[in-house]
Amino acid sequence: MMKSHWSWFNLYLLALVLAALAGCKSAEERKRDKTTATLRLYLEATPDGTAHYQMLEIAGVSVCASTTHFLAENSLKRAAVVTTRDGGFALDVEFDRHGLLVLDSITAAHRGQRIIVLSQFGQKKSGQQRWLAAPRISGRVSSGRLLFTPNASREEAEEIVLGLNNLVKKADKKTLFKAE
């Protein structure tokens, strides 16, 4: 009985094709993977005649915001859309150790002021930038988690969360040593 080496080749070729098909993503999955978002936190400022603040309106409320953010998405650990007791939704963002320390110190020192939240989200070419919220600091936030109701639809909030979590995944892949 004669054995053919081609049968082994066919098995390897079949395994290679199956591995390639398993790694292929649909157009929708590729679009979801390319979705990105930013999240910048600004502190409420007092109009003092300098160029270090900007006036803006969020959901009908006029707010004076600092022009420099104090915390950004590079300190993010995870983000989620959560359902509130009244059936609405809110964004729950959790920061890493650095973000926790910054958020803790800012909220301890600026009670009564507002944190102004800015996000840029969507596909790179068709993305949009929006002031999402301006929650008042009622007390120290030492948990590293910020929960706020965004000035956005639920679909937009889910897109923001997807984009933020995609950035966290990309950053985790690039980080060789993770400190927890």
Q: Which residue has the higher pLDDT, 91 or 63?
A: 91
Instruction: Report helix, strand or coil for 121.
Output: strand
157 backbone dihedrals φ, ψ, rounded to 5°: -60, -40
State the pTM of this model.
0.76
Domain layout of the chain by residue ranges: 28-174
DSSP class of residue 48? -
CATH topology for 28-174? Gyrase A; domain 2 (3.30.1360)
Contact 146, 115 (CB under 8 A): yes
Residue-wise pLDDT for 24-72, tens only, equals: 556 555 556 677 899 999 999 887 766 678 888 888 888 889 989 999 9
